[in-house]
Amino acid sequence: MLILLPPSETKRPGGRARPLDSASLALPSLLPQRDAVVAALVALSGDEDRAARVLKLGATQRGEVAVNAGLRDAPTMPAVDRYTGVLFDALDAASLPAASRRWLGAHVLVHSAPFGPVGALDAIPAYRLGATASLPGLPSLKRVWADAVSAALAEDRPRFVLDLRSEAYVALGPVPAGVPSAYVRVVAEADGGAVRALNHFNKHAKGALVRRLAEDRPRLTSRAGFVRWADAAGLRVRDGAEGELELFA
């Protein structure tokens, strides 16, 4: 099973003094796209005012321009440790034992805007770039990434993909039609049995789900297998709309 996670806008600073090596990241066929986006982001960062406008940064966020300017030489850390925020706080990968972290490295990709999907343990720098940004000199990020990411996922040949990304990141690389997959929506059951999608607890539920998977380290190769595991783990999962699973928070 392959799990696709969204990134987070917030990042942990610092890391090891080992610069970004785009060629070492997961899905190596994406190297041309990675190099193009990083080059455009670094070039944009040479003009702080323009970068602030393009990236929609407020006055207190202008320091992010300098972060982007140093992208190629900045310290790096595993992607699953770099990101903070609700999902990654619930996952809390730093507190997992080594075997669980290795499981994350083998089964989880985090879909970033500048690097595309990267392995959970791939070393990346801090950056500021969202899925909907438009970088000068490049087509939209959707045009840069979508077909290339879909092709890379097809080449990787996962037996089953559990897609926990936000819809903005799904647009940057849809799971190809030939790959068995399920898109997960987090829902709650209201009074009277009505089901409603959740926003506030969505990210927390996804992070907690991935943590439980990493702790259990199941060998799952299908949608049915995932649903059986979830049931045994005390999680409530059921079929939703076509191609989707509903996870009850």
Return the pLDDT at 200: 66
The helix-helix angle for 202-216 and 98-107 (nearest 10°) equals 110
H and E: helices and strands count for the chain: 10, 10
- Burial label, 143 (beta-carbon count in 10 A; 0-12, 13-18, 19+): exposed
Q: Which of 30, 20, 35, 9 is CA-nearest to residue 168?
A: 9
Whole-number pLDDT of residue 249: 86
pLDDT, tens digit (0-9, with 9 covering 90-100), for 193-243: 667 776 668 999 999 999 999 999 999 999 999 999 999 999 999 999 999
Contact 215, 228 (CB under 8 A): no
What average pLDDT does this structure show over 12-34? 97
Q: For residue 20, what is the DSSP state? A: -
pLDDT in tens, 113-165: 999 999 999 999 999 999 999 999 999 999 999 999 999 999 999 999 999 99
| DSSP code at position 55 | T
Q: Which pLDDT does position 202 carry in this prediction? A: 92
pLDDT in tens, 177-187: 999 999 999 99
Domain ranges of the chain: 2-248
CB count within 10 Å of CB 165 equals: 25
pTM: 0.95
Look at residue 108 and tell me whether its pLDDT is greater than 80: yes
